[in-house]
Amino acid sequence: MSQRFIITGTDTGIGKTVLAAALTGYLGARYWKPVQAGLDGETDSQVVARLSGLDADAILPEAYRLTTPCSPHQAAAIDGVTIDPARLSLPTSDGPLVVEGAGGVLVPISDTETMADLFVLWRLPVVLVARTSLGTINHSLLSLEALRARDIAVAGVAFVGEANEESERVICAAGNVRRLGRLPLIDPLNTEALAQAFASGFDLDALQC
């Protein structure tokens, strides 16, 4: 079973970090958010630390911590830095690893490079997180096309939100991709509730690549 994954999404604010926390906790993995854009409130690494149930040393430090919650290339410009892909090499030690991208597949990290360019370098299977609400079919299929155009392996699609059987079905059929499962909207959201929802809502055998 592959235990090293990239988590990316079809959009921002769709539950990608919550899904990453669930997968990190399930695998007993280390978690890495290479580029954090936005430092007000909890960062994505802090959310994963809180929800995964793992020790603090499982959360690897970000390569870039940028102040403004916007596209990484713009957040870096505001902070007066340039994102250097050489600083974004995967951690070298063995063991399970969950890497969460910033935003969606084609979010720019500079004027010439996107998150997808990093995925090509990392050569890990991608879990695409998709919402279940209106618009998800278009966003999901475009994201899958962008990944496959770059020969990036897709482990499957993980849905977040209320059940939408037809949208989920057509995305997986038209996109020729596995449906890994669905996380419902969890309230209250805590470690125990997330782990239970992930275990009951996902076909964990489907994560084998």
Positions marked active-site: 33
Q: What are the two backbone dihedrals, phi and then psi, of residue 138, each rounded to the nearest 5 degrees?
A: -60, -50
Contacts with 43 (C-beta within 8 Å, 6 or more apart), sequence order: 33, 36, 62, 65
C-alpha–C-alpha distance, residues 74 and 76, integer Å: 5
Which secondary structure element, helix H or strand E, spans residue 159, and what is its range? strand 154-160
Length of the chain counted residue by residue: 209
